[in-house]
A and B are shown apart, each in its own frame.
Chain A
Amino acid sequence: MAYSKKVIDHYENPRNVGSLDKGDTHVGTGIVGAPECGDVMKLQIKVNDKGLIEDAKFKTFGCGSAIASSSLATEWLKGKTVNEALAIKNTQIVEELALPPVKIHCSVLAEDAIKAAIKDYQNKQDNKA
């Protein structure tokens, strides 16, 4: 199977690999997927007081397309508001990375990871209030 140039670029030079402090109330963490399915994504966002995502990090266990989808997601998240981030669709990731049909689930997982991270952040805010 041939990979697109963009997938290879993200795979070889993944952006924003790492972890943020899970305990920080400004940080939202989303972990989606399962080891037995061959994909686990951990995606984290750090939201500042203005409601902007000022940082995003990921770690992914999965194929090259899964790594690329999550790497791309962190790039897109930075600088967006939470609502803008919620509008990111897996189809945009598919298009940007030119994912073949068998790899669409990777983009779905990335979208799920974004939503899970935002939900975690929002839960923390609700608990604070």
Chain B
Amino acid sequence: MTLKLPIYLDNNATTAVDPRVLEKMIPFFTEHFGNAASRNHPFGWSAEEAVEKARGQIAAAIGAVSKEIVITSGATESNNLAVLGVAEMYKEKGNHIITCVTEHKAVLDPCKHLEETGHYNVTWLEVDAEGMISLEALEKAITDKTILISIMHGNNEIGTLQPIEKIGQIAKKHGVIFHTDATQTVGRVAIDVEKMGIDLLSMSAHKIYGPKGIGALYVRRKSPRVKLSPIQFGGGHERGMRSGTLNVPGIVGFGEACEIAARDMATEIPRQLALRDRLYKKLAAHLEDIYLNGHPTERLPGNLNVSFAYVEGESLLMGIKDIAVSSGSACTSASLEPSYVLKALGASDEIAHSSIRFGIGRFTTEEEVDFTAERVIKEVNRLRELSPLYEMVKEGIDLKTVQWTGH
């Protein structure tokens, strides 16, 4: 088989729609185009039937039941609805939220917004060098005013998996609602909302080979029954929690994507783990001074985040332009700030500037991984020859002792 370039290794950003998913979606654009809320004709009935089937597929992927699935436009909306919806609904009960500094902006920013209103207090839990929160710190932070704990399952940048089940137990013990952003983990690692004690869970279709623009929020219906104030008002769809005509083709695709992911998980996890380890081992065998960012074992199967010391991330991306990956380097972000997630690990900014995230996915092959390793090794070596930092280290200079002229 010949290698097709460019290679896509950015599956933590988004994934290709699986052709099997697309196939299921197509009839719902043209043939079964009805509004799922139309109760008085067959067009509506077939749309509603498809939505309910998909809802069941989505629920099954996380061990929930259909009625607990609120369809949204994606995980950003799900996260906003969870945080803002709980804050509003339970404001008489309390005004304190606990989250963590490495959350996605779609959790951080609604929390910040609540804090800025002056009516809410937020505890921002720190993480250790591998991106894990401390369960002791979490439990200590809980007060009688705490209404929500929002801790993500798998981190989108560094892949670290938080101890969700233990967090669920702590939340339960103190009677606090537990929300988790599982955008990166649904369909990629096993999730069971019952076993893990999850009350709210955000998910997205496009990370699991489904279409963009569709997602869901799992909302627990019993023990406890979680209620949410809506953040979008209108026709009262989704049991009043999220108004708006349902995106039927998107939902059908999401359902199918969930079913395929759940079905293939047992073989897909070891396959991706093997590819990830193969890539890391090749890099580590040929390059000195490379660092794995995130947790060595408790991490997303397909995620590899590596810093290549003395080489700036964007320049490396430029050198491996046949390979689509991303970097925590400031130069690749709109804000010109290096990744806040990597900085939160306590690593130096330099490590953030030198980081590359490889996202292995369902369609990644061994050949692609081998090609990537070869290209990265070649380019890192070339750029190190160009790097004054590498030269200094080779001369025996400790970079920490140098007086830099920052700008």
Distance in Å: Cβ of A84 to nearest Cβ of chain B: 24
Known interface pairs A3-B318, A36-B349; 9 further A-B residue pairs with C-beta atoms within 8 A, sorted by A's residue number: A17-B385, A35-B348, A35-B404, A38-B349, A60-B386, A61-B389, A63-B315, A64-B315, A66-B315
Complex CA gap A38/B316 in Å reads: 13
The answer to whether A64 and B318 have CB atoms under 8 Å apart is yes
How distant is B7 from chain A, measured CB to nearest CB, in Å? 20
User: B106: shortest Cβ distance to chain A, in Å?
Assistant: 24
* CA–CA, A14 and B318, complex, Å: 14
- Residues of chain B lying within 8 A (CB to CB) of residue A109: 407
Which of B319, B331, B391, B407: most chain A CB closer than 10 A? B331
User: Could you say which of A26-34, A89-97, A121-129 contacts chain B?
Assistant: A26-34
CB neighbours of A32 from chain B (8 A):
405, 407
Residue of A nearest to B327 (CB): A63
Range for the number of chain A residues in contact with chain B:
20 to 34
Query: Is B406's CB within 8 Å of the partner chain A?
Result: yes
| Interface flags, B313-357, vs A, CB<8A=1, else 0 | 011001100000000011100001010000000001110010000
Cα distance, A63 to B353, chains bound together (Å): 10
Q: In the complex the two chains form, is B331's CB within 8 Å of A63's CB?
A: yes
Q: Does A108 contact B (CB under 8 A)?
A: yes
Contact residues of B between 393 and 407, Cβ < 8 Å to A: 399, 404-407
Residues of A within 8 A of B310 (CB): 61
Contact in complex: A14, B386 (CB < 8 Å): yes
Q: Taking A32-B405, A32-B407, A36-B406 as contacts, is the C-beta distance between A41 and B388 under 8 angstroms?
A: yes
- CB distance B329 to A38 under 8 Å? yes
CB distance from A64 to the nearest CB of B (A): 4
B38 beta carbon closer than 8 Å to chain A: no
What 0/1 readout, one digit per residue, does chain B (177-203) give for beta carbons within 8 Å of chain A?
A: 000000000000000000000000000
Cα(A19)–Cα(B388), bound, Å:
9
Which of chain A's residues have a CB closer than 8 A to the CB of B319? 11
Which residues between 5 and 58 of chain A lie within 8 Å of chain B, taking CB atoms? 8, 11, 14, 17, 19, 31-42
The reply on B259 being an interface residue by CB < 8 A is no
Pairwise interchain contact B391-A17, C-beta atoms closer than 8 A: no
Q: A62 near B: Cβ within 8 Å?
A: yes
Which A residue sits closest to B350, measured CB to CB?
A35
B380–chain A nearest beta-carbon distance, Å: 12
Interfacial residues, chain A to chain B (CB-CB below 8 A): 3, 8, 11, 14, 17, 19, 31-42, 59-64, 66-67, 102, 105, 108-109, 112, 116
B67 to A: closest C-beta gap in Å: 46
Give residues in B with beta carbon < 8 Å to A: 310-312, 314-315, 318-319, 329-331, 336, 338, 348-350, 353, 385-391, 399, 404-407
B407 and A38 contact, CB distance less than 8 A:
no
Instruction: List A contacts of B338 (CB < 8 A).
Output: 38
A72, B349: Cα distance in complex, Å: 27
Distance to closest chain A CB from B162 (angstroms): 28
Q: Which partner residue on chain B sits nearest A12 by CB separation?
A: B319
Known: A31-B388, A35-B353, A38-B329. A62 touches B315 (CB 8 A): yes
B404: which of A40, A102, A105 is its contact (CB, 8 Å)?
A40
A64 contact set on B, CB distance < 8 A? 314-315, 318
By a CB distance below 8 angstroms, the chain B residues around A116 are 405
A38 / chain B contacts, CB cutoff of 8 Å: 312, 329-331, 338, 349-350, 353
Question: Chain A residues near B388 (CB, 8 Å)?
Answer: 31, 40-42, 59-61
Known pairs A11-B318, A34-B405, A67-B315; A59 contacts B386 (CB<8 A): yes
- Check if A34 sits within 8 Å of B406, measured CB to CB: yes
A-B contacts, 24 of them at CB < 8 A, read A11-B319, A17-B385, A19-B391, A35-B350, A35-B353, A35-B389, A35-B399, A36-B350, A36-B406, A37-B349, A38-B331, A38-B353, A40-B389, A59-B388, A60-B386, A61-B310, A61-B312, A61-B386, A61-B390, A62-B315, A63-B312, A63-B315, A64-B314, A67-B386
| Residue among A8, A11, A35, A41 facing the most chain B CB atoms (10 A cut-off) | A35
Complex-state Cα separation, A14 to B383, whole angstroms:
11
